A and B are shown apart, each in its own frame.
Chain A
Amino acid sequence: MNIALMNLIKKDFDSSNSKIQMFANLQLIRSVELLISDKYADQIFRCPVHLSIGQEAIAVGVSLNLKLEDKVVSTHRSHAHYIAKGGDLFAMLSELIGSPLGCCKGRGGSMHIFDKSVGFMASVPIVGSSLPIATGLALAEKHLNSGNTVVAFIGDAALETGAFYESLNLAALKNLPLLVVLEDNGYSTYSNKKVRWPDNKNVRETIEGMGVTYYNGSGDDVEEIYAQISSILSVVRNSKPSLVHLDTFRRYEHCGPSLDDGMGYRKPGEIESYIERDPIKILENKMISSGLISEILIKKLASQINSYVEDIFISMLKKNENYLKQFEMKK
């Protein structure tokens, strides 16, 4: 991998190069997820996976605002968050094959990805249960007077858990430096919000009524998200817990490597609408139309990032040769 590309993916945000760096990070996540999807049928990644395809903009727009020392807590759908926070792809992919070289020594799998060294503290797949832990991490930062922020990514179904309300009350009571990023993809597995939320539910009033600041916005445009989170974080860092509610699109099935367009659980026209919502396409179009980069060059950049991911995958297999041998023997 060339040094220029490495600099694009690294997380020290360079505002003079912001669009290209954002693109590189979006594409990095997309490439990893597509690789997992592609290899899944080979039975190499032997654990449930919840792919982030379609939801990358939130992970990147939030994490480019974070310092290494800021803490992140994620969910079952953690890959994008982990990669965006500067996680180690080798450790993540090794974890997905169940290897002792994985970030959890093969004990956690895709749903428990973590890396303390980059502040990616935990992935908690029991919906809502990450938030109590995030309050504790935030209380610790407050006690240590560190100036660090804790970001907890959650999905829309977390709003149906008791842990969510208990945690927000606690965060408001203790004035914790906690930002809850609500990635609202509209579905809990295959159930849309119609069967889960009453028609008159008002999320803003609910959150504000608990003493937590509420923001909302689109989860598709990484530049917008970056700017919005940047201004929210300046408030959160002063111990004002906040929740930002972003609409996003889970393009792949809830759990597994595939598209599930044939299942018929989405509204008519919803799948087609994704073309306009794909975070990578949105940014790409802006870059090309503003004359920042040519279509040829951007394709070249994407293909370089793909090769980079492919190389990591191949070297990951090689370093895990001994571990993988046991499966060959059983064939």
Chain B
Amino acid sequence: MSQTYISLLNQAFDESLKDNSKVMLFGLGVGDIGAVFGSTTNLQSKYGSERVFEIPLSENAVTGMALGLAMQGFRPVMMHQRADFSFTSAEQIINQIAKTSYMSGEVYKVPLVIRMIVGRGWGQGPTHAQSPHAIFSHVPGLQVVAPATPLDGYYLMKQSISSDIPVIFLEHRWLHQTTEGFIKNEHIPDLSEAKIMKSGKDLTFISLSYGVIECIKLAAVLSELNINAEVINLRSIQPWDKSTVLRSIEKTKNAVILDTGHIEFGLTGEVSSTIYSELFGLLSNPILRFGLPMEPTPSSASLALDHYPTIEKMLSEIKAHFGFKFDLAKAISIFNANFPYKSKHKDQPDIGAVGPF
């Protein structure tokens, strides 16, 4: 049976709360009618307001509180409806949470999760659409994960809660209504393991979170044009699964990296640098990088269209960069036929959600 990302995440919370009495969930909206976009529905009534609760809007103190709880053996999950609000608690995350285990000579474990939702579209704008995986990945002592599919969300959340390392769990708002069949006994991936979503021999797409969905679409279009692309879903950004990526590039000798964050000093630079260092001379072409330009994300739907790399723009750049001979107009029409937008507006996902969100 097919389930949405949100319902599987709710199930992951439910099972974690049930399996371990030390698990606690808190954040803005956790206990209200919206239940953080439905992800915490029914959990407060089921497990009580001692374990599942609303917070005062004091993200910094509440994040430090999560650390104090973790130092005492609890497993708190603190959540932000938008990742941008976590910056008010940067001090606790960067100076305290990331360093407590190290500074204590590993006497302390810090089993906590900070769930952050990344916004996009429908006017989210400069302070509600940031994807801060690169910022947190720069800090030793944190694990940073960014699921791309409903099952990723389910497994990564359960493993993040079980992990003794503090985890920043970044979740794209546009994934919430995506669906996937729940497969029992499927291979349960390690928290730091990337997943090959589609195998191919000509080109490797590397991405995270919602970017993986876009790469799957790009690969589907290319495949109708006889270009066989591999798609890697990183799942964990820090640490990232270098061996899966390098094995793939050894095979395809071509790489496209798509980031949901800004282009400079970020994921695309880090992954490119590793590929160039490890596989220097083996590449058929320079690495192609997509990401957000170095300007804040605009609110306006029309301005946002130029801000995010669209499928049309990416297909055009891929064709030019790798010297592919396909007809661009045909490629775009294949895309539109396979993945029709239900709305004429492209500042919202093509499935499920219509703003405001």
Please indicate whether A and B come from the same complex rather than being unrelated chains. yes
**Secondary structure of the A contact surface, majority rule:** helix
Q: Which of A31-39, A48-56, A165-173, A291-299 contacts B (4 or more CB under 8 A)?
A: A165-173
Which B126-181 residues have a C-beta within 8 angstroms of A? none
Q: With a CB–CB cut-off of 8 A, which chain B residues contact A131?
A: 61, 64
Q: Does B92 interact with chain A (Cβ within 8 Å)?
A: yes
Pair B95/A167 contact, Cβ less than 8 Å = no
Which B64-102 residues have a C-beta within 8 angstroms of A? 64-74, 76, 91-92, 95-96, 100, 102
Closest A residue to B51 using CB positions: A143
In Å, the complex CA distance between A108 and B100 comes to 10
Pair B95/A126 contact, Cβ less than 8 Å = yes
Q: With a CB–CB cut-off of 8 A, which chain B residues contact A124?
A: 96
In Å, the complex CA distance between A181 and B179 comes to 52
Q: Which of A132-140, A192-200, A264-272 contacts B (4 or more CB under 8 A)?
A: A132-140
Q: With a CB–CB cut-off of 8 A, which chain A residues contact B64?
A: 129, 131-133, 135-136, 163, 167
8 Å CB contact of A163 from B60, B68, B100: B60
Pair A132/B72 contact, Cβ less than 8 Å = no
The residue among A116, A122, A126, A134 with the most chain B CB atoms within 10 A of its own CB is A122
Q: With a CB–CB cut-off of 8 A, which chain B residues contact A103?
A: 105
Q: Does B103 interact with chain A (Cβ within 8 Å)?
A: yes
Contact residues on B (Cβ < 8 Å of other chain), bracket: 20 to 34
**Secondary structure of the B contact surface, majority rule:** helix
Q: With a CB–CB cut-off of 8 A, which chain B residues contact A114?
A: 103-104, 107
Contact flags A229-248 to B (C-beta < 8 A → 1, else 0): 00000000000000000000
Q: Does A262 interact with chain B (Cβ within 8 Å)?
A: no
In Å, the complex CA distance between A46 and B142 comes to 28
Q: Does A318 interact with chain B (Cβ within 8 Å)?
A: no
Q: Smallest distance from the beta carbon of B98 to chain A beta carbons, Å? A: 13
Q: Does A121 interact with chain B (Cβ within 8 Å)?
A: yes
In Å, the complex CA distance between A122 and B100 comes to 9
Pair A166/B69 contact, Cβ less than 8 Å = no
The residue among B56, B60, B62, B70 with the most chain A CB atoms within 10 A of its own CB is B60
Pair B58/A169 contact, Cβ less than 8 Å = yes
Show 21 residue pairs from A and B whose CB-CB distance is below 8 angstroms, ordered by the A residue: A104-B104, A104-B105, A107-B102, A107-B103, A116-B104, A124-B96, A126-B96, A132-B60, A132-B67, A132-B92, A133-B64, A133-B71, A135-B68, A136-B68, A136-B70, A140-B73, A143-B50, A166-B58, A166-B60, A166-B61, A170-B58
Closest A-B pairs by Cβ, 5 of them: A136-B68, A132-B64, A166-B61, A140-B72, A166-B58
Extra inter-chain contacts (9) besides given A105-B105, A129-B92, CB under 8 Å: A104-B105, A114-B103, A114-B104, A122-B100, A132-B67, A137-B69, A137-B71, A167-B64, A173-B56
